[in-house]
Amino acid sequence: MPVLSAFYWTIIWVIMAFVWIAIAFWPARVASDKGHSFWGYFIFSLFFFPAALIVAYVVKERNSEKAQPTTETEE
């Protein structure tokens, strides 16, 4: 069985790094849509992807219409 050269291992690691970073955008995007920090969740998901994904879906929305009081005044 042939052994892969260092060049091929480098290519494999680079592809894996791109996939890892691309997947880290998923929880960050979910949290961002709920009004939380995109970059905070992105860094969180780089190190703890499964936990970041769960937290991003479980966390409550900050910019919910229910949470914002109405400021309409009747004249």
| DSSP sequence for 5-47 | PHHHHHHHHHHHHHHHHHHHHHHHHHHHHTTS-HHHHHHHHHH
The answer to whether the predicted template modeling score (pTM) of the entire model surpasses 0.85 is: no
Average pLDDT, the chain: 87
Query: Mean pLDDT throughout 21-44?
Result: 95
Structure tokens at 30: 């979910």
Separation between Cα atoms, residue 1 and residue 11, nearest integer Å: 20
Which pLDDT belongs to residue 4? 79
Domain ranges of the chain: 6-57
Give the separation between CA 35 and CA 29, rounded to whole angstroms.
10
> For 2, which DSSP code?
P
